Structure 1
Amino acid sequence: MSQLNQLFSSLHTAGHNVKNRFASKKDESKLLARSKLLDHGPDMFVDLSIRFIGASGLPKMDVVGSADPFFMANIDDEIKFVSSVKANTQAPVWNEKWRVKNVPKHAILEVQVMDKDEGTPLNDFIGKFKVDVNPGAKEVELIGPMLKLRSERGHFWLEIESKPASDSDPHSLAYDFDGPIRYSRHTSPTAGKLTNLNEARLYATWKMYLKGVKRHFGDVSQHWNRDYKSAQTIFKGPSSIAVRQGIKAAHDILYSRTTENGYGIIEGKADILSILHGGGASRPNQHQSEHQVALSHRVKPAIYTYAISMDDNSLRFSETGAAFFVDFASKHALHAKCATSVWYSGEFHPRPKGGWENFSDDKRDEDVDWELLIDNNSGTYAPDKAMLPTLQKMLEYNFPGFNILALDREDEELKKSVAACREYALKKRDVPEDELQPTLSPGEESLCHRIWDFRKPGSDANQKPPSDDDSNEADERDPGNGLGDLNHQEGKK
């Protein structure tokens, strides 16, 4: 048996070595491409506004129905865009915009059109194309797989606007996302089925693409915290590989891209408030009282767990009391898909100016000045409190007109505000106690437990779960020892 274990260990090590070599080659290619940017003067960069209009003549991909198309775009493999999914159509209309600053004039835009297959780990490839970023309206023929007999894959329409780069030093902020701020709300049917509750709302997660993240944070990120035992379980030692695989599988389920996702654009304060309405509760409708349902259009007194990903500069979050957190080693690692570093992480909550303790539901939300309190309460990544002012400025840059307060997790004002928020939820909104912390309902199994069953050898469900189409898999290279600079007590996030 020991020889067999040694064989498995050797095979695993060899696989990681091959994967690391491929990852290193990819990193080298990116570094080479980045170095070439230095050969370009500032007048060789442009600010782009791309409108992805739609497609027509797409082939029928499903036995029942036609196709559920979406597309993935990238510029020079440096920045990416993933569209919404259009259900049951061969002529989708997207009209989705993408603004990117400081793009080299010679850059190439690549687009792949896919058919979303619900409940399966892979999506069907429809076709792709590449175009330059010169301005103008473009109609492009999609190129399908080489071995497919059907050569007609449809056409794609887009429009590109271009103007000289406005930044004085475009090299330092090349391929900088500039909006619009899109968000998606994921309510995973797969998670509900796995945990014996056919209610997708129980597992709601949000992803919001932020602009100007690197413009504010520069090269300062937050590495996993080596002084936190739960983080060590995820990132340190041979057994951590299996732990990460389970968390990543859960992340893919919770953030899977489906036709049922909600999509939108943040254009003002009202859009932010609508996301924070009680209608986005983590618990199913059948668990809500009549009072809760009646107030579902109001801003909900709730605490949210968040991580700002370095992979795509997205703010990923859910209610802290969401049931899917049960049994997982880290809430923040789940949102970050076990990334070894994030831009920032913690918790946030909305409050009316003056605090929840001085609020009454007699006041309309529209007549209240709302604030968003955000902190660094994350043991997994232990964010440096010195970066809280930067976090606040970055969020103000994305949400002008919305009052943002970034406070340290030990700040007394923060603790008081969190307590008042929870108190209002319990006493004024009939929110049950078990909704404020991750708990399971009767008959429900934890997502963590079901993921492990899902991955057991010989299990009927032993297959890769549905993946998130716009998230890059974090590799399994050595996560390192960690550079966390705060000693958070165990039992925290």
Structure 2
Amino acid sequence: MSEEEKRSAPAQDAQTPEDESRNNSEKTLEEPSEKSNEDGQAKEKPEQQEGPAGGFDATPVSPAPPGYTVKITFHRAHDLPMADINSLSSDPYILAQLNTSLPSRHKEDPYLRLRTPTVRRSTEPVWDFPWIIDHVPATGFKLKARIYDEDPADHDDRLGNVHVSVPALSEDFPGIKEGSYKIKKRMGSKRAYAIRAITTCLRTTKHFGGHLVVSVEILGRSQGDGGRAYTVGPMWWTRHYSPLLGRITGQKDPGDDEPTQGENHEQSPKSKTERYDFQANQFQLRGPVPWQLYHRFVEFKPFVKGMFTSKGIRGFLMSKALHHQHARVYNFDRSTLTGRFDHPSHEATMKFLDLVHYDQGGRIFTYVLTLDALFRFTETGKEFGIDMLSKHTMHSDVSIYIAFSGEFFIRRLKHPHEDPTQSPQSEHNGRNGKGSLDENNPSHPPDSIGGGPPGDEPVKDPKYYELVIDNDSGTYRPNAKMLPLLKDFLQANFVGLKVVTLDCQGDAELMGKMKDEQREKKKREGSHIVYRQGSLGSSISSSDEEELDEMAGGQMNGAARP
């Protein structure tokens, strides 16, 4: 399937500019407050567990009849205000939120949200971006669409709101065909509307008020149990570039196959400090995430709860800092790339492998899987000197509840693996002590396999790769018993890719061995670039260079494991 690659991006569960400093446990939009089941009885409490509060939560989804599969399409907008006085235009996108009468398991559960692509320099933007949600109840929904002007150098200006209310759904629902809704200006940017008013008076524009065109249709009855609404399509992806300071440390000469690190480090002139782009990725997977994948942050320190709930001065400041770091890492600007697929496919799996650079360079990634199947991940390692209070907390945007988190990496196989759909029901891989170490099908690393990096281009077939993923996250501490469910979910979304799961405790020795092999591979094949978090437009100081020197020395001398 063809894919769009634009200099803009969609994103789900995004933090709105107004919401950045709000309490994560409060819901500011219209949402049902009822948290009991249909009989009015309180939900079952999860079993008591030893250790600090948090981690796996066994609270079940409230039972409900099957709902409907609803497709919402954001077509276009007319007569938007002008947020940029220089170009007399805006860079608009929509942040949409869907509210239903379905009770959430906890009031802190994240919103069901979608961010559309950004349309550049236009007051007449055309998105035609679909959002397909499953198990929307017969009691209907309320859709709130906030229109913003994207401004990477400053905060995003709100251009207005649109509310779409559908009080009931049924087989006879006629749908909404390109309905035009007036944009409410009450919460919009006064500056943007002032520019619009001036141009209207000067007859440069004809109308002062804007409209948003939206369609709603029912695709049919949802299958399976109801109780929660979730995204089933499209499978969109984004690649974000964050500005960082970088220092090349011992870049391997292409003409020298295996120079020793000591020789390279000592004979090279002082490395040059430059800017590099740190890549962050998002991939919307097809829901639903298994309901059992439900984890809360762990209160391993007294300050952690305040950080997630924004309680107290310390908690408020730490939460705000992490929200800011999330916005920095998943920054939206003209360099952001995006595309989408209608459903899980070979092409979607190839795009995922492209986002992780196949098996090049021995990369290890930190990831978070949200409750609505949004897969966020960035490369991790000691060369990334990024000042983050918590990597998984940053990836989740300080979400109290997520589905799963940990680390993963990609390995290339010598032979194409068997179709996982033809094998017996998935089991956790690591506990047998074998993991992905298939004697009949060596992987790289640790074995040397031709036909791929670093000498050749990556093999463009997902059957030659395996995704090794674990639950190594101190922030949420996912339950190892849920790994088989995670494996099945990922294999269903990444068609043709072999998935291997490891328990960070039960398989600690095997996991450590495999990650050490990845790091050794990175020393041999990686680019040897160290990174440090920088700011937009910031200059490089002598202290920055000294810090990069220390980081570079630590990397070359085998610093402590991340």
Q: TM over 0.5, yes or no?
A: yes
Whether the 8 Å contact between 1:73 and 1:80 is mirrored in structure 2 is: yes
For residue 359 of structure 1, the aligned residue among 425, 443, 449 is 449
Q: Deviations over 1:348-367 (max 9, x none)?
A: 01111232123232475125
Q: Name the amino acid aligned to 2:78.
A: S
**Larger-gyration structure (1/2):** 2
Matched, 1:265 2:340: yes
Would you say how many aligned residue pairs link Structure 1 and Structure 2?
Answer: 401
**Structure 2 counterpart of 1:415, one-letter code:** G
Determine whether 1:405 maps to 2:500: yes
Per the alignment, residue 71 of structure 2 pairs with 49
User: Over residues 332-380 of structure 1, what are the superposed CA-to-partner deviations in whole Å (9 max), with x where a residue is unaligned?
Assistant: 2222233344321110011112321232324751256111111111222
Change over 3 Å in CA distance of 1:322–1:81 after alignment to 2: farther
Q: Please state how far the C-alpha of 1:88 moved relative to its aligned partner.
A: 0.9
The change in CA–CA distance for 1:426 and 1:68 in structure 2 (over 3 A counts) is same
RMSD over equivalenced CA pairs, Å: 4.1
Structure 1 residue 204: deviation in Å? 1.9
Q: Pick from 96, 114, 117: which aligns with 1:84? A: 117
Structure 2 stretches of 5 or more lacking a match? 1-21, 41-61, 101-110, 198-206, 247-272, 414-441, 535-539, 548-559
Query: 1:51, CA displacement in angstroms?
Result: 2.6
Match of 2:210 in 1: 154
Question: Distance in 1 between the 2:317 and 2:143 partners?
Answer: 37
Structure 2 CA distance, aligned partners of 1:31 and 1:185?
36
- Per the alignment, do residues 130 and 229 of structure 1 end up closer, same or farther by CA in structure 2, a change over 3 Å counting? closer
> Following the alignment from structure 1 to structure 2, what is the Cα–Cα distance between the partners of residues 161 and 27?
23
Q: 1:424 to 1:317 in 2, by over 3 A?
A: same
1:229 CA displacement: 9.6
2:235 equivalent to 1:181 = yes
Q: Distance in 1 between matches of 2:37 and 2:280?
A: 38
Query: Aligned in 2, Cα 1:36/1:383: closer, same or farther, shift over 3 Å?
Result: closer
| 1:246-269 CA-partner distances (Å, limit 9, x unpaired) | 223212222233333211225534
Q: Which residue of 2 aligns with 1:109?
A: 143
Pick closer, same or farther for the CA change 1:394–1:153 going to 2, 3 Å.
farther
After TM superposition, the structure 1 = structure 2 runs for residues 348-427 of structure 1, keeping only pairs within 5 Å, are 348-353=408-413, 354-356=442-444, 357-360=447-450, 361=452, 362=456, 364-367=458-461, 369-410=464-505, 411=507, 412-427=509-524
Q: What's the secondary structure of 1:119's corresponding residue?
A: coil
C-alpha separation in 1, matches of 2:144 and 2:154: 25
Structure 2 CA distance for aligned equivalents of residues 322 and 55 of structure 1: 46
Secondary structure (helix, strand or coil) at the match of 1:387 reads helix
Go from structure 1 to structure 2 and tell me whether the alpha carbon gap of 1:86 and 1:351 turns closer, same or farther (over 3 Å shift): same
TM-score normalised by structure 2 residue count: 0.61
Is 1:336 matched with 2:424?
A: no
Whether contact under 8 Å (1:230, 1:330) holds in the other structure is no
Relative to structure 1, the CA distance from residue 161 to residue 25 in structure 2 (aligned partners, 3 Å threshold; closer, same or farther) is closer
Query: Which residue of the partner structure matches residue 97 of structure 2?
Result: 74
Alpha-carbon contact 1:231-1:330 (below 8 Å) kept:
no
Output the CA distance in 2 between the equivalents of 1:223 and 1:41.
27
**Matched position secondary structure for 2:214:** strand
Structure 2 Cα separation of the partners of residues 40 and 298 of structure 1:
43
Tell me if structure 1 keeps the 8 A contact 2:152–2:331.
no
2:561 and 2:404 map into 1 onto residues whose CA distance is 16
**TM-score, normalization: structure 1?**
0.68
Structure 1: unaligned runs, 5 residues or longer? 1-18, 282-295, 450-490
Which secondary structure does the structure 2 equivalent of 1:30 belong to? coil
Q: Which residue of 2 aligns with 1:137?
A: 177
Aligned-partner Cα distance in 2 for 1:152–1:238: 43
Shift of 1:129: 4.1
* Matching residue of 1:30: 32
**Segment of structure 1 superposing worse, 248-257 or 362-371:** 362-371
CA offsets per residue over residues 163-182 of structure 1, 9 Å max, x none? 44232432x23x22112222
Amino acid of the residue matched to residue 116 of structure 1?
E
CA distance in 2, matches of 1:444, 1:213: 50
Residue identity matched to 1:61: A
In structure 2, relative to structure 1, the CA distance for the partners of 1:109 and 1:249 (3 Å cut) is closer
State the Cα deviation string for residues 173-222 of structure 1 (Å, max 9, x = none): 3x221122222222135x669xxx884x53321122233344x0337314
